[in-house]
Structure 1
């Protein structure tokens, strides 16, 4: 296409012609989300859980040697994946002091640590998606190890697999647009202490935190609502409390990629168990951050020494971890951050 410019200078006409070419850009490669979702494997979940929930970890009681050994194992998995601690931190630990966790007449706990790992965003790195799970449990009683395979060894190993899936995408040139903070919190069993400490002492400004996706007990099934016969479900709690979009997006990605039965029993405001306030997502929601909690419900081994890794249904654990991944993927890569348009009640 030619453009002609006519200029009058000292009574003379000068005609200048220039030719421009249309440059066709190569189309952007489509991201195969299913490919990365399917890197979450039952075998890896099992391998890691048999370590995290082993007798060697002594029930991972807050601040005790078994929990610290479990923490070192978690950190080693991130290092092997090439995932580092977040910028602004000195290492993989956020120290949680004993004094912070002391409440009323409860026994004093030892100093403990949250563990964090980080994948930076490529376009909006200041906006943070938090994926959380607690890695503590209740320790030992009368010589028996309370392994906590489901509570919350299942969420702990799910976080590692979700991080691996994001890292595989990054290696292929598909870094998330927003940053992902993988947050293993301590002290949940004694009062949600680790998540409360992070929410009050965040590494990144709370206003920049887009969402918390919290995973606590996703490796078993309960016997309610026909789940004993069909375990392909997950309880979803809290998604609609602060953001109308979070609830809708979770339903959409589940329908598109995973196909679990989304059970909202424990999201009922009148449910007597008040599950909404009983896991770590609540400390984010309490700061006005949209939060969603994935949960498989209670079972006969809850808080018993019989909550062992051989009883985990690894196919169900993998499916629920995949749902958490595709939700995190969507929230990290969509054009606009989700709205906060509800009051949290």
Structure 2
């Protein structure tokens, strides 16, 4: 009889957990995704080129959003005051190459070929496992303008940025309602991705929380469109890297999709032999090379990639919501499960 009641208790707990995560996942809002993307990918932000005044306007927008949604500012750089901004400097070389500057002097920072920029970081503290940290990331920079034409980057990577923003809001709301994640979550909007993953490179060289405490990075880079391979089956997402470091992460991801979102998970780009080599081409890679498990969420390349036609009116917001929910379900389990990923 005791075993029977124990079984019922476990079953009730599992059902209760599913109802809780589903409730919060369903609060992910198309209206919010549209509102934030319409601003970040507007002509007024002129393509959010790293180091531009418009990129800094986007950074301020993100920081204000994090603050309004109860995330903590935990960056301290040469000051005792905490900030949402992790400032760093990029050196530009003849020929268009760029590199981060890890310890520039004041004189080096003032050089004409140096770009000042910032990652935007918001922290949500966990409960009994708060020293373990899940990173949810996206890059908010794009390629700016060319010959007066604006490259808005609605999909690349405005879509990933607003997906991250919505998850920050929902996790914060869950915490307010007494459903705080057990592990802490760090939401990072990277700059400098288009110059060679430089914001994430700087972060992993100078993390605000030690990398040894970082258990996973879920990186979202282009999740608002449909590529030519899926015109007849749009409920899909490409997953890259989920099985490279942690098989348990891969299985967890598959299980959550099967249970909740039921998207087609396409692993075509995950192949080591794929010519695009996308595993090495977004911000997750700087975590992966430090042996931190990652998943890269991606919608595939389309004709508007790095074109001035990558605009908000081409985003499928219903699909963006569903893909955001997939990341959210995966993040929820990682943040709340008993054991660390293996």
Place the TM-score, normalised by the shorter chain, in its bin: 0.7 to 0.9
Query: Can you list the C-alpha shifts for 1:44-78, whole angstroms capped at 9, x where unaligned?
Result: 10010000001111100011111001111111222
In the alignment, which residue of structure 2 is the partner of 1:187?
Answer: 192
Q: Structure 2 stretches of 5 or more lacking a match?
A: 1-11, 99-112
More moved, 76-85 vs 196-205: 76-85
In structure 2, relative to structure 1, the CA distance for the partners of 1:239 and 1:312 (3 Å cut) is same
CA shift for structure 1 position 84: 2.2
Alignment of 1:193-342 (within 5 A): 193-224=198-229, 227-339=230-342
CA shift for structure 1 position 322: 0.6
- Aligned with residue 16 of structure 2, among 13, 18, 30: 30
> Is the partner of 2:244 in helix, strand or coil?
helix
CA shift for structure 1 position 30: 3.3
1:143 aligns with 2:148: yes
Q: Structure 1 stretches of 5 or more lacking a match?
A: 1-26, 340-345
Query: Can you list the C-alpha shifts for 1:279-306, whole angstroms capped at 9, x where unaligned?
Result: 0000000011011100000111000010
1:52 aligns with 2:40: yes
Alignment of 1:70-149 (within 5 A): 70-86=58-74, 90-99=82-91, 106=97, 108=113, 110-149=115-154
> Is the partner of 1:46 in helix, strand or coil?
helix
8 Å contact kept, 2:241–2:270 = yes
8 Å contact kept, 2:75–2:121 = no
- Aligned with residue 164 of structure 2, among 159, 166, 183: 159
Provide TM-score, normalisation by structure 1. Answer: 0.87
8 Å contact kept, 2:75–2:86 = no
Instruction: State the distance in 1 between where 2:94 and 2:172 align.
Output: 39
Instruction: State the distance in 2 between where 1:103 and 1:170 align.
Output: 49
More moved, 84-93 vs 147-156: 84-93
In structure 2, relative to structure 1, the CA distance for the partners of 1:102 and 1:289 (3 Å cut) is farther
In structure 2, relative to structure 1, the CA distance for the partners of 1:143 and 1:249 (3 Å cut) is same
- Aligned with residue 61 of structure 1, among 38, 44, 49: 49
> Is the partner of 1:241 in helix, strand or coil?
coil
CA shift for structure 1 position 86: 2.8
Instruction: State the distance in 1 between where 2:96 and 2:25 align.
Output: 45
> Is the partner of 2:222 in helix, strand or coil?
coil
In the alignment, which residue of structure 2 is the partner of 1:343?
Answer: none
More moved, 197-206 vs 103-112: 103-112
CA-based RMSD:
1.8
More moved, 136-145 vs 90-99: 90-99
Provide TM-score, normalisation by structure 2. Answer: 0.88
Instruction: State the distance in 1 between where 2:134 and 2:196 align.
Output: 23
> Is the partner of 1:297 in helix, strand or coil?
coil
Higher fraction of helix: 2
- Aligned with residue 181 of structure 2, among 176, 179, 196: 176
Larger radius of gyration: 1
